[in-house]
Amino acid sequence: MKRRALRKFSLVSLRDLLAASAPTIVLVAIACAVAYVVVDPAPPRRVVLATGQDNSAYEEFGRKYAASLARDGIKVELQPSLGSQDNLQRLIDGKADIAFVQSGTAGAGQRGLVSLGSLFTEPVWLFLRAQKGRQPEIRNLTQLKGLRINLGPEGTGVPKLFRQVLDANNVEPAQLTISALENTPATMALLDGRIDGLVFSSAPEAPLVQMLLQTPGIRLFDFRQAEAYTRRLPFLTHVVLPRGIVDLGRDIPAQDFDLIAPTATLVAREQLHPALVDLFVNAATTIHGGTGWFQQQGQFPSPRYTEIPVSKEAAKYYRDGPPFLQRYMSFWLANLFDRLWVVAVALAALIIPLSKVVPPLYVWRIRSRVYRWYGQLRAVEQALESADPARCDEVRAGLLRRLDEIEQRVNHISIPLSYADALYGLRSHINFVRQRVQGTAAG
């Protein structure tokens, strides 16, 4: 009983407070939901990554990115392609969200695309088949005239690149017998003697590169003028394949080889969610950040060596490192807290003005329970004043019964103690009207 009494005679009515706050709570909830979903949507759980041909470095690295992002609940759908040029077109057409693109393929000012940084150098590998009785050894690209050379499909980007290299040597493509086989069939054709050489651009991790470097009768072309090529074609760099790097025990290769190399770049559509940009750059740091045949520790990934503008999120990552929260939380939890600031702004914009409405609305709800009975008292007084003198006693008796009913119902009003003065004032006014009716009867 005591507990029920305490609940009945509390200082504040929680039910009325909630009712008064309900419109504000609903408006704030709607605003927060809109801000959370529309203003800064959650990152998608699926992204399409265009890779490259079978047995290419792009394909191998694509699998590594898929495994890395899968740990954060992101499904990376690997989309095979012909190579760099094909990947670029897939990005432009919206068929892929992110892709490996070779420097020199896109050109500066490519609209709608951003770079997430360069990942590794991918040298131009020109493998030639040694033929008996053919002298001298090929040391200059002008000696390729008349040979059967495979440049790969146009979508790889290599045909365009190598034609620029030939042009620098004043060699017309028509002076070669050029074929456009993909890398794996071209390798088989080279081993079978159906072509004299093949060209492709790839990281040394590519299985075909590893195999050809160790295949007897297949020789790698040495770009002795590599430094001059980098001056003529600025998107190229000069790298050196060190002697013995493939197999120290067998001394493969048996000499240093100068090579020319564009860089592989991770390119994305501008619409790619900023949180996914951070994830991909973080994965790139893990996958490409170590030492390699042509790079030092920490040289890649890098915002350099790319003609496509680097996204602001990627640039921030390279400058400051991973987002603060992602260093200590899971990706999705960090992303949730990172997005909550949008909700906080919405809350601040609504709660401050709406909070001024709640107190008056609460007071009105409490006092309205008392004030509405004054209308009943006023009706009793008007009935008394307009009563027919011939029926005065009957009218007064009815009004007194009506006052008793009002008083009985008022006694059951639940009202916080802080507003009890209004309730007691109403009860005194009921007595006042009763005395007036009774006084008229006595007169």
HEC sequence for the chain: CHHHHHHHCCCCCHHHHHHHHHHHHHHHHHHHHHHHHHHCCCCCCEEEEECCCCCCHHHHHHHHHHHHHHCCCCEEEEECCCCHHHHHHHHHHCCCCEEEEECCCCCCCCCCEEEEEEEEECCEEEEEECCCCCCCCCCCHHHHCCCEEECCCHHHCHHHHHHHHHHHCCCCHHHCEEECCCHHHHHHHHHHCCCCEEEEECCCCCHHHHHHHCCCCEEECCCCCHHHHHHHCCCCEEEEECCCCCECCCCECCCCEEEEECEEEEEEECCCCHHHHHHHHHHHHHHHCCCCCCCCCCCCCECCCCCCCECHHHHHHHHHCCCCHHHCCCHHHHHHHHHHHHHHHHHHHHHHHHCCCHHHHHHHHHHHHHHHHHHHHHHHHHHHHCCCHHHHHHHHHHHHHHHHHHHHHHCCCCCCHHHHHHHHHHHHHHHHHHHHHHHHHHC
Sequence-ordered list of residues with C-beta below 8 angstroms from that of 218, at least 6 positions apart, any chain = 127, 128, 129, 130, 190, 191, 212
Of the candidates 163, 122, 120, the one whose C-alpha atom is nearest the C-alpha of residue 144 is 163
Quote the CA–CA distance of 319 and 417 in Å, as a whole number. 61
Check pLDDT > 60 for residue 2. no
- Please determine, for residue 1, whether its predicted confidence score (pLDDT) is greater than 50: no
- pLDDT (tens digit, 9 = 90+) per residue, 41-79? 778 999 999 999 888 889 999 999 999 999 999 999 999
Over residues 280-291, the pLDDT tens digits come to 999 999 999 988
Distances (CA, A) of 59 to 158, 163, 189, 223, 301: 16, 25, 22, 27, 18
Highest mean pLDDT among 19-28, 43-52, 391-400: 43-52
In this prediction, residue 332 has a pLDDT band, given cuts at 50, 70 and 90, of low
Least confident of 148-152, 312-316, 344-348: 344-348
Q: Given this model, what pLDDT does residue 13 score?
A: 62
The answer to whether residues 84 and 122 touch, using CB atoms and an 8 Å cutoff, is: no
Q: In this predicted structure, which of 218-227, 332-341, 400-409 has the lowest mean pLDDT?
A: 332-341
Cα distance between residue 220 and residue 179, in whole Å: 19
d(CA 281, CA 313): 9
Sign, CA dihedral 327-281-183-196, equals negative
Confidence category of residue 361, pLDDT binned at 50, 70, 90: confident
pLDDT at 121 over 60: yes
Across 225-229, 340-344, 371-375, least confident range: 340-344
Long-range contacts of 171-177 (CB under 8 A, 24+ apart): 171/141, 171/142, 171/144, 171/145, 175/145, 175/146, 176/144, 176/145, 176/146, 176/147, 176/148, 176/149, 177/146, 177/147, 177/148, 177/149
Instruction: Collect all residues with Cβ–Cβ distance below 8 Å to 190 and sequence separation of at least 6.
Output: 127, 129, 150, 196, 197, 198, 212, 218
Contact 280, 310 (CB under 8 A): no
* Rounded-to-integer distance, Cα 103 and Cα 252, Å: 29
Highest-confidence segment of 7-21, 336-350, 423-437: 423-437
User: Would you state the pLDDT for residue 336?
Assistant: 61
In the structure encoding, which two tokens stand for residue 433, read together?
A: 């009207």
